[in-house]
């Protein structure tokens, strides 16, 4: 990894969280809005232009976007995905795969933008627009599912080496749960948008038109429903999250987000019963929920993706699609059976110098006093090194270091070279 990235890793991670916290609500709003628009437009299309119930029009009006909004979303998404890859450099995907995902997501978003533009433009709707919109929504949804599953498999690095043989390991129940949570939050924010967005400049004075009422009720229902389902999804996630990823902070965050959802529900309920709260409160709360959700993922990743955990994962390179690329975050650990160059000096320093010096007693006797005795019969020394026995009562027994014959010979040679004659 580039040293600059290494030094600023913490800050980059926080940047990523903030970006995710920003981009997810916007993406969710866009997704939700487009879905609602598409649904109402296709209903309108079905029932014909003349007999459209007014509430559908109302829905359409409420779900209108702005171009700047969409552009912002697309750019932020690209930025956060790139950042994700840079920070975590998962050994899962090659750069090509990751860029492919980004492009696909962008394409989906682009399709969605086109469709919404046409919807807003009040041109007569045709099937192609709806189809494009539908395709866009589907692509984006699938990409979000893929991202949720990626997030999930990042929490189980032990499966990374097997992805190339068993690609279905990429999908996981935990990933689906994360996606479900994202969907719930999408519904919540869309519902809120439907509830609070206005077509007329003065919402409070004039009693709202009937069509708006239906749309508002749909929005409220969406919002309330998703907030009520939120703790179930979160409870499910606590059950499904890999055990090494969970911890006290994660549980507390989960509980906090449930409490937040509770507060939001209560306030929403009160709003519906008359007491008005500013829309900003709700949007803030939902965005806070998004942030909790993203932060939980971050916390889980921090617990799991430690260098010691990532060591030893020999990721294979069979197919280019999911090939490993670059080094892993920590350098690979050499297995205990790796062939070492039989350098007597190195072996001595690794294995013997703990207890032996040549000129002084450390744990074992000074080697200058023992080695010369073997010069007449060097093979005895090699044999002794392989099978040490307790000789001298003044010193503790030399442990059997499990040396192979070659290693013992190399050490013996080194000893003979360096000890006194």
Partner 1 sequence: MSDKAPKRPGTRLRKLFCLAVFSYFALLVLATLSAGLVRGFFAPPTTQPIAFPHTTHADKLNLACDFCHSGVKQEASAGVPALSVCLSCHRAIATDRPEIEKLLGYERRGEPVRWQRLHNLPDFIHFTHQRHIQAEQPCAACHGAVERMLEVQRVRSLKMGWCVSCHRSRGAPRDCATCHK
Q: Report the alpha-carbon distance of residue 13 to residue 305 in Å, rounded.
A: 13
**Per CB under 8 A, does 228 bind partner 1?**
yes
**Per CB under 8 A, does 111 bind partner 1?**
no
CB of 216 to partner 1, least distance (A): 18
**Per CB under 8 A, does 67 bind partner 1?**
no
- Binding letters toward partner 1, positions 229-268, x by CB under 8 A: --xx-xx--xx--xxx-xxx-xx--xx--xx-xx--xx--
Instruction: Calculate Rg over the CA atoms of the chain.
Output: 32
CB of 161 to partner 1, least distance (A): 7
**Per CB under 8 A, does 391 bind partner 1?**
no
Q: How many CB atoms lie within 10 A of CB 276?
A: 10
Q: How far, in whole angstroms, is CA 162 from its chain's centroid? A: 18
Token pair 């975590």 is found at 88
**Per CB under 8 A, does 166 bind partner 1?**
yes
Q: Which of residues 277-306 bind partner 1 (CB under 8 A)?
A: 306
Among 71, 138, 158, 372, binds partner 1 (CB under 8 A): 158
In sequence order, the 6+-apart residues with CB closer than 8 A to the CB of 412 are: 344, 374, 378, 381, 382, 385
C-beta of residue 130 within 8 angstroms of C-beta of residue 41: yes
Among 1, 5, 354, 405, binds partner 1 (CB under 8 A): 354
Nearest alpha carbon to residue 139 among 178, 179, 101, 99: 101
C-alpha distances (whole Å) from 227 to each of 17, 145, 150, 219, 254 are 23, 20, 25, 12, 14
Q: Report the alpha-carbon distance of residue 280 to residue 192 in Å, rounded.
A: 10
**Per CB under 8 A, does 401 bind partner 1?**
yes
**Per CB under 8 A, does 360 bind partner 1?**
no
CB of 358 to partner 1, least distance (A): 17
Q: Report the alpha-carbon distance of residue 212 to residue 60 in Å, rounded.
A: 11
- The site for partner 1 (CB under 8 A) is made up of 156, 158-159, 161-162, 164-166, 169, 228, 231-232, 234-235, 238-239, 242-244, 246-248, 250-251, 254-255, 258-259, 261-262, 265-266, 269-270, 273-274, 306-314, 330, 333-337, 350-351, 354-355, 362-363, 396-399, 401-402
């Amino acid at each position: 990894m580039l040293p600059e990235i290494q030094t600023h890793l913490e800050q980059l991670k926080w940047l990523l969280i903030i970006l995710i916290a920003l981009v997810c609500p916007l993406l969710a709003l866009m997704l939700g809005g487009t879905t609602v628009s598409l649904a109402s437009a296709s209903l309108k299309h079905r029932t014909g232009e003349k007999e459209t119930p007014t509430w559908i029009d109302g829905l359409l009006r409420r779900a209108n976007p702005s171009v700047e909004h969409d552009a912002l979303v697309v750019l932020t998404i690209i930025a956060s995905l790139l950042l994700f890859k840079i920070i975590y450099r998962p050994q899962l995907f090659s750069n090509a795969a990751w860029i492919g995902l980004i492009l696909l997501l962008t394409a989906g978003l682009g399709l969605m933008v086109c469709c919404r533009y046409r919807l807003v433009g009040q041109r007569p709707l045709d099937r192609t627009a709806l189809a494009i919109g539908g395709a866009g929504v589907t692509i984006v949804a699938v990409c979000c599912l893929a991202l949720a599953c990626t997030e999930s498999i990042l929490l189980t690095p032990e499966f990374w080496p097997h992805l190339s043989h068993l690609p279905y390991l990429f999908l996981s129940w935990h990933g689906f749960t994360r996606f479900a949570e994202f969907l719930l939050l999408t519904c919540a924010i869309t519902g809120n948008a439907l509830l609070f967005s206005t077509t007329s400049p003065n919402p409070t004075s004039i009693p709202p038109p009937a069509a708006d009422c239906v749309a508002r009720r749909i929005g409220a229902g969406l919002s309330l429903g998703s907030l009520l389902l939120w703790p179930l999804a979160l409870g499910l996630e606590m059950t499904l999250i890999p055990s090494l990823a969970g911890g006290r902070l994660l549980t507390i965050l989960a509980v906090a987000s449930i409490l937040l959802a509770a507060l939001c529900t209560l306030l929403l309920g009160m709003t519906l019963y008359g007491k008005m709260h500013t829309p900003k409160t709700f949007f803030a709360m939902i965005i806070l929920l998004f942030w909790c959700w993203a932060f939980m993922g971050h916390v889980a990743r921090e617990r799991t993706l430690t260098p010691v955990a990532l060591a030893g994962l020999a990721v294979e390179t069979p197919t280019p699609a999911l090939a490993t690329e670059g080094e892993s975050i920590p350098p690979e650990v050499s297995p205990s059976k790796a062939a070492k160059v039989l350098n007597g000096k190195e072996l001595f320093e690794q294995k013997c110098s703990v207890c032996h010096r040549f000129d002084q007693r450390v744990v074992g006797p000074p080697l200058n006093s023992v080695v010369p005795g073997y010069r007449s019969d060097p093979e005895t020394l090699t044999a002794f090194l392989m099978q040490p026995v307790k000789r001298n009562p003044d010193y503790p027994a030399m442990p059997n270091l499990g040396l192979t014959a070659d290693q013992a010979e190399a050490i013996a040679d080194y000893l003979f070279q360096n000890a006194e004659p």
